[in-house]
Amino acid sequence: MRVYGRSKLTPNALGLVLASCSLVACQQRGEQVLPTPAEVASYYSYEGGVRAALNGNVAEVTVPQPAAQLRRGGTLWAKVGPYVLLFSDETRKLLDDYPALGGVRVITTVGGGTEVARALLGRTELSDIQWRRALNIAGRARKDGTERPALLDDLVRWGEQHTEFGYSKRYVGSG
The mean pLDDT of 7-14, rounded to a whole number, is: 46
- Give the span between the Cα atoms of 86 and 62, in whole angstroms: 11
Predicted pLDDT of residue 142:
93
Per-residue pLDDT reduced to its tens digit, 73-87:
889 999 999 999 999
Predicted pLDDT of residue 19:
44
- Give the span between the Cα atoms of 99 and 43, in whole angstroms: 15
CA angle 44–66–154, rounded 5-degree value: 70
Please name the amino acid found at residue 55: N
- Give the span between the Cα atoms of 116 and 84, in whole angstroms: 14
CATH number, domain 37-163: 3.30.300
DSSP for residue 101: -
- Give the span between the Cα atoms of 99 and 24, in whole angstroms: 19
Predicted pLDDT of residue 79:
96
Per-residue pLDDT reduced to its tens digit, 12-24:
444 444 444 444 4
Of 82, 48, 94, whose CA–CA distance to 160 is shortest?
A: 82
Per-residue pLDDT reduced to its tens digit, 96-122:
999 999 999 999 999 888 999 999 999
Residue ranges of domains in the chain: 37-163
